[in-house]
Amino acid sequence: MNHFNTDDIVPVSELKQRVNSLQTHLTENGFDAALILQATDLFYFAGTTQQGHLYVPKDADPILMVRKSYKRAQAESNIETIEPITSLTEIQPILQRYGCPPPDKLGMELDILPVNLYRKYRQLFVGSNILDISHAIRLIRAIKSPYEIDRITVAAGLADQVASSVKDHLREGTTEVELAGRIEARARALGHQGMVRMRLWGSEMFYGHLMCGDSAAVPSALSSPTGGAGMSPAFSQGPGFKSIQPNQPILFDYVFAHKGYLADHTRIFALGELPDKLMKAHQAMLTLQTKLQAEMRPGVIVGDIYESAIDFAAESGLEDYFMGAEKQRIRFIGHGIGLELDEYPFLAKGQQMKLKSGMVIALEPKVVIPGTGVVGVENTHLVTEDGLQRLTKYPDDIEIV
């Protein structure tokens, strides 16, 4: 029943390495086991997003229990032990059959688990102390393996191909959403999976943001420097029905999602020349990007990177527009990326996490000017022992069509 190529399946060695990292954390922190439910974490540790539960004892092989689709999970996952279930009540008998004692301390992803489901698992694991293990999972996932880096590098190359197609579709009078549809069709044809996963509760993302002029500077609820008017209050972000106009910045902030892995970048296009103020602001963001790229090495505290960016914005006279123009502007300059758009680390105010080799970072210095538009840049980078290695490589300068 395998509908995918062999190289689409996460290798056994990769899954074992990930599970071993989790088991090390369990042992060092007094956990007896972890129970993984969230789709992205399931894919990370089990290689499938089928509806199921991955039980990871601290000192035994994991058990994947799948409700739907069991046959697909068998075809997709390289976990050795996969069992079908039709009800949560079957979990405990299966664990007993495999010799797993009731856990005194059980880790679960409490950052995303709904309260009603949490109550069900409390009833299921009577006597167990259920504690949050999501932070540990996110720390493990923050360091990418060579396998993951290869996947993200491919996504970055495809993201560049999509960016190169934007100018072919730019026409005065075309609506933002019509332009977005044409570019998204190109992305889809290249293998974009059609959705971008985010972990933060209530956060949603389609392909990204494509807006022209002042509509790009419209704020939204999303944890992003840009929002956009969107098409209605039901999904109030991204492209809307505004027409593409000459001499206005066109923000292209898209994520390429390929076989689960993401690459994020932003480019600015325009029909005709832009005002000098915008050109200078964009150049300042390119200078800032270069500055931060030189500073970002293993061991550097990510909050210090943010403060360095804030200082540069103030020195450049752009502090009122840097990363948003409202009092509720975002307080970060970049974020980790991998299977989800909002992974560790966050290059944000006050964050004490240190950069480590193997992290993948989307660095996104932007200027948001109400009533005018957005300029700036975003690129996906790999943190190496020698510093940042840029993965998205399409030219950063504003592209005048």
- Residue-wise pLDDT tens digits, 80-118: 999 999 999 999 999 999 999 999 999 999 999 999 999
Q: What is the mean pLDDT of residues 289-300?
A: 98
Q: What is the mean pLDDT of residues 264-281?
A: 97
| Annotated domain spans of the chain | 6-141, 143-400
Residue 90 is classified by DSSP as G
Q: Give 51: exposed, middle or buried? Use CB within 10 Å, 0-12, 13-18, 19+.
A: middle
135: Cβ–Cβ under 8 A, 6 or more apart, which residues? 111
Mean pLDDT of the chain: 96
133 has a pLDDT exceeding 70 = yes
Joined together, the tokens standing for residue 343 give: 């992974």
pTM of the shown model: 0.96
Q: What is the mean pLDDT of residues 143-164?
A: 98
Distance CA 255, CA 261 (A): 10
The closest of 25, 45, 35 to 94, measured between CA atoms, is 35
2 has a pLDDT exceeding 70 = no
242 has a pLDDT exceeding 80 = yes
Residue 322 is classified by DSSP as B
Q: What is the pLDDT of residues 216-227, one digit of tens each?
A: 998 888 888 888
Strand 63-68 relative to strand 208-212, pairing:
unpaired
Residues of the chain with pLDDT > 70, as a percent, come to 99
Class of 143-400 in CATH: alpha beta
1 has a pLDDT exceeding 60 = no
How far, rounded to the nearest angstrom, does the alpha carbon of residue 368 sit from its chain's CA centroid? 22
Locus of tokens 């999976």: 193
Backbone φ and ψ of 346, nearest 5°: -105, 120
131: Cβ–Cβ under 8 A, 6 or more apart, which residues? 31, 105, 106, 107, 108, 110
CA distances 248 to 229, 276, 303, 371, Å, are 16, 12, 33, 11
> What's the pLDDT band for 5 if we cut at 50, 70, 90?
confident
> What's the pLDDT band for 326 if we cut at 50, 70, 90?
confident
Residue 99 is classified by DSSP as T
Q: What is the mean pLDDT of residues 125-134?
A: 97
Joined together, the tokens standing for residue 222 give: 């999303």
Q: What is the pLDDT of residues 20-77, one digit of tens each?
A: 999 999 999 999 999 999 999 999 999 999 999 999 999 999 999 999 999 999 999 9
Q: What is the pLDDT of residues 359-396, one digit of tens each?
A: 999 999 999 999 999 999 999 999 999 999 999 999 99
321 has a pLDDT exceeding 90 = yes
Residue 372 is classified by DSSP as T
* C-alpha count within 13 angstroms, C-beta hemisphere, residue 35: 27
Strand 105-108 relative to strand 33-36, pairing:
parallel
Joined together, the tokens standing for residue 233 give: 């209050």
Q: What is the pLDDT of residue 164?
A: 97
Q: What is the pLDDT of residue 390?
A: 98
The total number of residues shown for the chain amounts to 401
* C-alpha count within 13 angstroms, C-beta hemisphere, residue 389: 15
Bridge partner list, 268: 251
Topology of the domain covering 6-141: Creatine Amidinohydrolase; Chain A, domain 1 (3.40.350)
Question: In a 3-state reduction of DSSP, which class is residue 316?
Answer: coil
Bridge partner list, 270: 400
